[in-house]
Structure 1
């Protein structure tokens, strides 16, 4: 039996005791059990931060692509148009928070002018993708729990506390991150190889040998870094290639399947639907209409 997606969202105005906290725009939790639409959108005056708790997500911001994995946080700045890659988000579990630009809010989380300016500089200068400690998930859960609670004593104070705690964890993570860039570089190189030759089928053993690790060690490191297995990652890259071909050409779906190394169009359609959320035919019709 398939499990349905789960969603929980707080939006400013939903809680009478938090109306004054207008700088806190939204908080959300999503567990996507299947590929799900997540289309182009923009927050004109707000920062959005998405923590990937499980899985991996490909994003597009102003035409640029970004790959994020579990235990990473993805950020967009005010006015940036963004979406999930090809308007579909992969199976994953995420937390997301939207807060107003501190420069536009004189009482931003009750911070003094100098403190607010420091946070403004930090938010502007931090990288788009930050590797964070798993403990940040607890802060998101606490924030959700107190918003849902019927106990409202010091509610606004508690909400401010946990939001600032999340932001401070980002500051610490961006300063102390010690993740090795080697596996990230290898992942990018692997994607380029698959894009150049989509029919290429590489085993985990072959990849591990190339990287200089045992097969089990490589599999663990790759999955920890990217949130998915090497095989699933390569298949996802092939599906991105398929989307580009479907969008940019009139090549038949059978020929696309063969060009991508699938033995049958049925197998290709099954894999495509798993990662993109619909059949290749339906996806082409929707995006070319």
Structure 2
């Protein structure tokens, strides 16, 4: 389904799913921020894990009152019974897959035996992973599940069960790795430099020079390891800081812009709305209303 803004969504509800384990399966591509009052308001899945795979862009959700940001290459998981939703019901520009999966271990899934499924389920719960780095295999498994649901044949149910088992195994492996996925000392140093000075003028050329890299090599290594450009990383830090100030203080928009590294409140407002779909003033009004 494509809306007037060019955003695309494919969603299969439980009665359409080709596995009894699936409560919902979907893929969406949002070219512009959208307020999604149908899917993002506060809700709970009593017996269901929800696994989201971010293919591009970034998303911002809350779970049990805590806010999380997931970027391209990340997985985001909510556990059964957790209250969750999209911050201010806004979906940022992004591409993502999701599956709501019931993991009761009375029977297996694909090649996973009941005891193996039980162990996997407990590992996901005990690890308390929320946002962590995924893999190409996970995104490929999601894409395959969508394609099988779009054009099912007489083998589709068996193929979906097998792929669902493979997906869960890869998610469990990624969860175990968690945030320990390898980031080179060079790129970690770049992140540390940006983190320390995000609210000041930053020139990526100077950071690259400090690291002993030319600019194109710096951008390439950063994007390969963190799935976003260093400028995108910087913007995320600045907008996250601005959101915190909008939620927790009564500073003016101009003060918050300067405290977040922007010399112009007008430019700050433009970047903020591009990232969140809301102006800083409307964002502040909404979070104070919800609080």
Whether the aligned pair in 2 keeps the contact of 1:183 and 1:225 (CA below 8 Å) is no
Paired residue for 1:282? 282
Name the SS of the counterpart of 2:77 in structure 1: strand
In structure 2, stretches of 5+ residues that fail to align are none
Cα distance in 2, alignment partners of residues 122 and 35 from structure 1: 34
Paired residue for 1:95? 97
Cα distance in 2, alignment partners of residues 210 and 78 from structure 1: 46
Alignment match of 1:144 (pick from 143, 146, 155):
146
TM-score by length of 1: 0.79
Cα distance in 1, alignment partners of residues 74 and 176 from structure 2: 14
Aligned residues: 278
Mapping of residues 186-265 of structure 1, within 5 Å? 186=189, 189=192, 192-194=195-197, 198=199, 200-265=200-265
Whether the aligned pair in 1 keeps the contact of 2:187 and 2:221 (CA below 8 Å) is no
The alpha-carbon deviation at position 277 of structure 1 amounts to 0.5
The alpha-carbon deviation at position 153 of structure 1 amounts to 0.9
Mapping of residues 1-289 of structure 1, within 5 Å? 4-14=6-16, 18=18, 21-37=19-35, 38-64=40-66, 66-84=68-86, 88-103=90-105, 106-109=106-109, 112-125=113-126, 127-149=129-151, 151-173=152-174, 179-180=182-183, 182=185, 185-186=188-189, 189=192, 192-194=195-197, 198=199, 200-289=200-289
Name the SS of the counterpart of 1:143 in structure 2: helix
In structure 1, stretches of 5+ residues that fail to align are none
Q: CA 1:109–1:36 in structure 2 vs 1: closer, same or farther (change >3 Å)? A: same
- Residue-by-residue CA offset, 1:202-236 (whole Å, 9 max, x unaligned): 11122224445432222112223333322222122
172-181 or 271-280: bigger deviation: 172-181
The alpha-carbon deviation at position 53 of structure 1 amounts to 1.4
The alpha-carbon deviation at position 87 of structure 1 amounts to 5.3
Name the SS of the counterpart of 1:162 in structure 2: helix
Q: CA 1:206–1:247 in structure 2 vs 1: closer, same or farther (change >3 Å)? A: same
TM-score by length of 2: 0.79
Give RMSD over aligned pairs: 3.2
The alpha-carbon deviation at position 288 of structure 1 amounts to 2.7
The alpha-carbon deviation at position 136 of structure 1 amounts to 2.9
The alpha-carbon deviation at position 256 of structure 1 amounts to 2.9
Cα distance in 2, alignment partners of residues 251 and 286 from structure 1: 16
Cα distance in 2, alignment partners of residues 224 and 86 from structure 1: 31
Whether the aligned pair in 1 keeps the contact of 2:190 and 2:211 (CA below 8 Å) is no
Q: CA 1:66–1:185 in structure 2 vs 1: closer, same or farther (change >3 Å)? A: farther
Cα distance in 2, alignment partners of residues 234 and 55 from structure 1: 14
Q: CA 1:209–1:125 in structure 2 vs 1: closer, same or farther (change >3 Å)? A: farther
